[in-house]
Each structure stands twice: as structure tokens, then as C-alpha cells.
Chains A and B, each alone.
Chain A
Amino acid sequence: MPAVEISNLSKTFRDFFGRRRVKALDGLSLSVEPGEVFGLLGPNGSGKSTTFKIAVGLLRPSDGSVTIQGAKPGTLSARKATGFLPEDSTLLPFLTAHETLKLHGALAGLSRKQASDKAHELLERMDLQHAAKRRVKGFSKGMQRRLGIASVLIADPDVFILDEPTSGLDPLGAVSVKELIAELRGKGKAILISSHLLGELENVCDRVAFLNKGKLLTQGTLEELLREHEVHQLRISPPDAESIQALEALARERGLQVLSSGAPMRTLEAFYLSVLGDKDQS
């Protein structure tokens, strides 16, 4: 049984008089298996958040259906199975970080002691232990995001629905979220995740779907979609100039075309991480 099954889903927003205004989703079908990370990609307003809201029972579909482990969204078994992180942080501002996690723990059926212990553990993991006793109202956007993720984790659900989990996070935070997602996949959880930052999804997703104006453009594994079968890249170390020339000559001899050759650029993210890593050690 797939963890999340979306079939032929449509949603039309109507105005006050019942006139159709926006067709946010149009015949979307996809499914996510346990142990799989599924990325939903698309420009602003393409219907990603709408899909998620239907999947957690906040909205009713106009047509089609969603099931979470075979249950209808909004039912108790579906709610218990799902951990939902909305796109804007939606936390109760008057609670402290620790109380927020305890509330989520209590709602998931943990005992007081269990919830409190697990809350401490997660605060540490999300690097928030220094703010455990502070009210959420004063948190920065990224801190709220971290707390939001922690509150999803405390219930230990089987299906994660994360709407732009890394928005507002600093690169270190984004990396730790990616690590977290990889870890969850390892535990056999199903993860449905959205973003419009492509680099974000590239490293974590097993499969992605592209959405535009509510319609599914294409979907498949990263391997199917991204592998360039016409070219080959070879990285060598150390970059010894003579050997490189010899290799290039060999390639031409064999009738191949050398498209690029040179020292590769690091990504800004890798650089950021290396700089901050040095700082932490000093």
C-alpha cells in the first residue's frame, strides 16, 4: 500500500457567490511509497501547498481523492500517521519552545515524561536548546522553522508532508534538514516535500514531480530525469598539467570531442559550510 496516494485530484476555489475563480489543481495523480522522498516542484501558485492542504484535510477536493495509508485525510488514523509542516510557520506564539513540543507530544499520545525528554532531545538536535524557555513569539523566522520541524518529529509519524521545510533556514540549517530527511528515509518513512529551489531537492529526493498551474508536467526518478547519457565527466587529482594534456590528446585521438576541462568551481553552499566549519573549530 502506498503511503500517500493522490488520484485525479482537482481543486477549484470559488468566490462568495459560488463562481469559479481559480483552478488550483487539475487532475493531479501521484503516489509516495514508504522509504521514499518525493519532491513536488513548481513555480509560485502552481498548487503545491493546495495539494498538501487537501492531503491533511484542511481543504476538501473538488474532485478526485487522497488517501494516507489508505485512510481519508482528516480522520484520526490519517492525522496520526501524518506529520505536517505548513509553508508559513504556524506555532502558538504564547508557548515556549519546550511547551510547544510537549503539546505536540501530548497530542501524539506520549506521556508527560516521554514528551518532556523527547522535547529536550529534539531541541538539542535542532540547535534550539538555548531558546527552550523562550516564548515562540520572539523567535526569528528560521528558529520558528526549526521548532516547526521538531514539533513534527516528536510524534514520530510514518508520513511527512513538508511544505518548503528549508525556507528561512540558514545553509547549515538547510543541510541539517537534508540530513534529517535522509535519516527519516532510512527509517522507512514516506516524505512528500515541496520547494521551488531546485538545488534544494536535488540532493534529497528519490523522485520528483513538476507542477505548473495545477497540472502535472512530468514525474520520475532523478536518475531518469537528470542523467545526461551523451556526455561523461572525469575528475582527477592532483591537477597535473602534463597528464591532463596527455589525457585530452588521447581523447581526441580516439575521435571524442572534449567539451570542458579545467578546475571546477565549488558551490557557494560548500564554501559557506567550509568557512563556518573552520570558525566553529577555532
Chain B
Amino acid sequence: MIGRVLAIAGAGIREACRSRLALLAIPGLVIAVPVLAAVLSHDADTHAWLARSITSEGLQTLLPLAAIIGAGFLLKPGMKKGWTVLPSRRSEYFMGAALSGCIVLAVGAALFAAGGAIAARSDLTLTRQSENVSKQRIHDGQRQVAPGKTDAATWANPRYGEELVLAIPEGIDGKLKGTVEYQIVWTGEAAPRDRSPVAVLIQSGATRTPLNMNVQSRYRISFEGDYLPGSSLVLQPTDPVLIVGTSPARVRFDIERVAPFGSLLRLLALAVCAATLCMAVVLFVRSLSTAPTAVLAGLLLLATLTLLPSLAPASRMAQDRRAAFEPNAKESRFVADLEARATSLPQLVPESYFDEFLAARVVPAEAMQASLMRLAAALVLLPLGALLFRLRQMPK
């Protein structure tokens, strides 16, 4: 059985290699990132950013789409095309076609990622997160400290003089560098004032020194300054109408710089496994349906698993806030359940890893685990599709 599946997959790969498109596609995929980044950038910084951004967009968005559309036309369930009259079982043809599709997909993605590696001229930052976030305020000349949450946001309200204290992990010497991502809640009492609602200080004993701060986006700042052993970082809300919150995972300290190849490899694995899952879904539907139906099913899955979970952080924030400030408010269980379900849906291609890469940070090793889970789901779906495909009649 395996021999026949491999023989059919070999023929399928040959078909792909011999199509006229292959001549263009192979060099095209390799030079895509280097050429685009070179043409569109003016300086080294934009070049580095563009190279990362094009690579990650291609892997995260285009690859699953290509997999869905390609898989729609992968199976040729008619006598005329010659595949189904080969002297093998129908399910063997299904698996062989799926295998050839996966290999073509993986090779294409690898060529594209190789282009990304060629264009990547700067190293990525290895970061470590804060160990804990707590809340402090000065009351009657005394510093009061309240422990914060470990996996959800801890909030500080400037109206009561509250600040967030971020523990600095070990392994840092000399320079302190990193980023903080935060959430804000507007109290609605007046219009917000400042561009950035926070200040970052370093606190050692009773001395507090402001750090150099850079606004990177509405919800992210970077900081830089001298490190004093035994000190901790303070995130101070500066706008009286904006409550600020963050969690340990969102506070990152730079440790060292490393070459980008490992991270690229992880993203490649993740994207290829997610695309394989897309392909498996489309093939599963295609086993008994027409190509357009199968492609539509694939697109629907992609939309669901991309849009719903990425809408969720907003509602997670809203939930956090409601829980923190209106603990007794009655909330519709149905809505809460729905929100929770949307939040807990796994994303098809987990965005957070790509965000790390975009921010010039090392992609964590858990990305591999995430990709294996997607691959496993695909491997469960494919044999089921093969069984269904056996039921299909081939009148023409």
C-alpha cells in the first residue's frame, strides 16, 4: 500500500515540476523577499523590517490560501484524467495526491523562506519576560504593595496613585532594555491627554530614575537605561483618566542577539503545518463534492479560525475590566460563554509567533509544538477523507 501511495505521489510531484508555472515559480519564490525588500526600502532599518514583514505575511496569510485553492484542484476524480483508473485503490490515490500536494507546498514555502533568510541582514533579540507584576501606592507616606495576577492583567488606577512594579529577571548586566505592552481603560471622566499614558522608571530602594522611553505603538513602548542590581521597573500611569494594566508575559527584557535562521525555521514549520491542515480540510470535503464547494469550505474554516480568535483579545480585555471594576454586575451567561468560546478557539496560524518575529524577536520554541498539533489534526483528517473518497462513483 505504501509503495503505491509513494508511486502516485511521485507522479503527482512530477506533474507539478513539469507544469510551465514551475519554471517561473521556483526562482520567483526565492527572489521574492530579497527583491521586494530591496526595491521598497531606503535604509537598513526599513530593509530589515520589510524583509521580516514580507516573509511573515507570505507564510501566515498567503500560504494557507494557496493551500486551500491548490487542494481544491488537487484531486481529479474523473476517468478522463487518468488517475482513478490507475491499478490502485481509490484511497491510495487520495493519499498519494495529498502527499504530493503537501510536498509541493512545503518545498514552495521553504524556497520562499530561504528568500527571507537571504534578505535578513539583522539579528533577532532573545527576550525574557518579567517574573511578576505587582501593584504599589504611597499611602500616608508608606509604600503599600499588593501582589498582581500571573496570567491576567494587573490594573493600576492613577486616581489612587497606583503604579505597577515589574520584576526584572536575572541575567541582565549593564544596560536595561526591553518593551512593555499594556492595555488601557478610559474612565470617561475627561478627555485623555498625553500621547503615551505611561512613564517608565527604575526604582532602587527609595531612589527612582526615569528611563529613556520610545512609543512603538498605541499599546507598546520600549525603554532603555542603566541597570542597577536589585532594582525593579515601575510603570506609572500618567493620565488621570486612563487606567493601565499589563501582565508578566507582556513585559519583555532583552537578553542577547541571535541569528534569525532558527526563528525562520520555526515559522516555516508552523505555516506549513497550518497549510497542511487547510489542505486536509479541503481534500476531506472534496472527496465527495466539487472543487468550488471544497474551496469554499476551506475559506470558511480559514476565516473562522483567523478572525474569531483574533477578535477575542478585545473582549478578553473587556471581561477583565468588568471583573475588576464591576464585580457584582450581572452579565448574560450566553454572551459570556460565547466570548469565552471564541477566545479559546485555536488560531489556524497563531499570530503571536509572527508578531514576535515582526518585532525582531526570537520566535519561542513552543512554536514547534503548535505546528505539530496542526499536523496531527491534518493526519487524522486525511485517512477519513480517503475512506469517503472510496464511496464516490466515477461515471465519466
Q: Does B84 contact A (CB under 8 A)?
A: yes
- Chain B residues whose C-beta falls within 8 Å of the C-beta of A155 in the assembled complex: 87
Q: Are A107 and B88 in contact (CB under 8 A)?
A: yes
- Chain B residues whose C-beta falls within 8 Å of the C-beta of A83 in the assembled complex: 87
Q: Are B82 and A58 in contact (CB under 8 A)?
A: no
Q: Are B15 and A94 in contact (CB under 8 A)?
A: yes
Q: Are A107 and B395 in contact (CB under 8 A)?
A: no
- Chain B residues whose C-beta falls within 8 Å of the C-beta of A80 in the assembled complex: 87
Q: Are B15 and A92 in contact (CB under 8 A)?
A: yes
Set A59, A86, A109: member contacting B393, Cβ < 8 A: A59
Q: Are B86 and A107 in contact (CB under 8 A)?
A: yes
Q: Does A74 contact B (CB under 8 A)?
A: yes
- Chain A residues whose C-beta falls within 8 Å of the C-beta of B90 in the assembled complex: 57, 74
Among the listed stretches B3-11, B124-132, B328-336, which one makes contact with chain A, having 4 or more residues with CB under 8 Å of it? Answer: B3-11
Q: Does A53 contact B (CB under 8 A)?
A: yes
Cα(A59)–Cα(B77), bound, Å = 12
Q: Are B79 and A58 in contact (CB under 8 A)?
A: yes
Q: Are B85 and A90 in contact (CB under 8 A)?
A: yes
Q: For the complex, count residues of B whose C-beta is within 8 A of A.
A: 26
Q: Are B390 and A103 in contact (CB under 8 A)?
A: no
Q: Does A84 contact B (CB under 8 A)?
A: yes
Q: Are B83 and A92 in contact (CB under 8 A)?
A: yes
CB within 8 Å for A94 and B87 given contacts A58-B394, A103-B11, A106-B3: no
Q: Does A108 contact B (CB under 8 A)?
A: yes
Q: Does A60 contact B (CB under 8 A)?
A: yes
- Chain B residues whose C-beta falls within 8 Å of the C-beta of A103 in the assembled complex: 7, 10-11, 86
- Chain B residues whose C-beta falls within 8 Å of the C-beta of A222 in the assembled complex: none
Q: Does A95 contact B (CB under 8 A)?
A: yes
- Chain A residues whose C-beta falls within 8 Å of the C-beta of B3 in the assembled complex: 106, 109
- Chain B residues whose C-beta falls within 8 Å of the C-beta of A58 in the assembled complex: 79, 84-85, 393-395
Interface residues of B in 39-71 (CB under 8 A from A): none
Set B7, B18, B81, B84: member contacting A107, Cβ < 8 A: B7
Interface residues of A in 28-67 (CB under 8 A from B): 53, 56-60
Number of A-B contacts (CB under 8 A): 71
Set B7, B11, B80, B86: member contacting A88, Cβ < 8 A: B80
- Chain A residues whose C-beta falls within 8 Å of the C-beta of B11 in the assembled complex: 92, 95, 99, 103
- Chain B residues whose C-beta falls within 8 Å of the C-beta of A53 in the assembled complex: 79, 394-395
Q: Are A79 and B87 in contact (CB under 8 A)?
A: yes
Q: Are A108 and B81 in contact (CB under 8 A)?
A: no
Q: Does A104 contact B (CB under 8 A)?
A: yes
Interface of A (DSSP majority class) = loop
Q: Are B87 and A95 in contact (CB under 8 A)?
A: no
Cα(A108)–Cα(B15), bound, Å = 21
Set A84, A90, A109: member contacting B81, Cβ < 8 A: A90
- Chain B residues whose C-beta falls within 8 Å of the C-beta of A84 in the assembled complex: 85, 87
Q: Are B394 and A95 in contact (CB under 8 A)?
A: no
- Chain A residues whose C-beta falls within 8 Å of the C-beta of B395 in the assembled complex: 13, 53, 58-59
Set B79, B81, B89: member contacting A79, Cβ < 8 A: B89
Interface residues of B in 341-396 (CB under 8 A from A): 390, 393-395
Question: Nearest chain-B residue to A152 (Cβ)?
Answer: B87
Q: Does A126 contact B (CB under 8 A)?
A: no
Q: Are B82 and A92 in contact (CB under 8 A)?
A: yes
Q: Does B14 contact A (CB under 8 A)?
A: yes
Cα(A53)–Cα(B11), bound, Å = 24
Mask, B118-160, CB within 8 Å of A = 1, is 0000000000000000000000000000000000000000000
Min C-beta distance of A80 to chain B, whole Å? 7
CB within 8 Å for A86 and B89 given contacts A13-B395, A59-B394, A103-B11: no
CB within 8 Å for A94 and B393 given contacts A88-B80, A104-B87, A107-B88: no
Interface residues of A in 101-158 (CB under 8 A from B): 103-104, 106-109, 155, 157
Question: Nearest chain-B residue to A88 (Cβ)?
Answer: B80
Q: Are B89 and A94 in contact (CB under 8 A)?
A: no
Between A and B, 28 residue pairs with Cβ closer than 8 Å are A56-B85, A58-B85, A58-B394, A58-B395, A60-B393, A74-B89, A74-B90, A79-B89, A80-B87, A84-B85, A86-B85, A88-B79, A90-B79, A90-B81, A90-B82, A90-B85, A92-B11, A92-B81, A95-B11, A99-B11, A99-B14, A103-B7, A103-B86, A107-B4, A107-B7, A108-B87, A109-B3, A155-B87
Instruction: Taking A79-B89, A80-B87, A95-B14 as given, write out 15 further A-B residue pairs in contact, using a Cβ cutoff of 8 Å, ordered by the A residue number.
Output: A58-B79, A58-B393, A58-B394, A59-B395, A60-B393, A74-B90, A79-B88, A86-B79, A86-B85, A88-B79, A90-B79, A92-B81, A93-B82, A104-B86, A155-B87
| B interface list, Cβ under 8 A from A | 3-4, 7-8, 10-11, 14-15, 18-19, 79-90, 390, 393-395
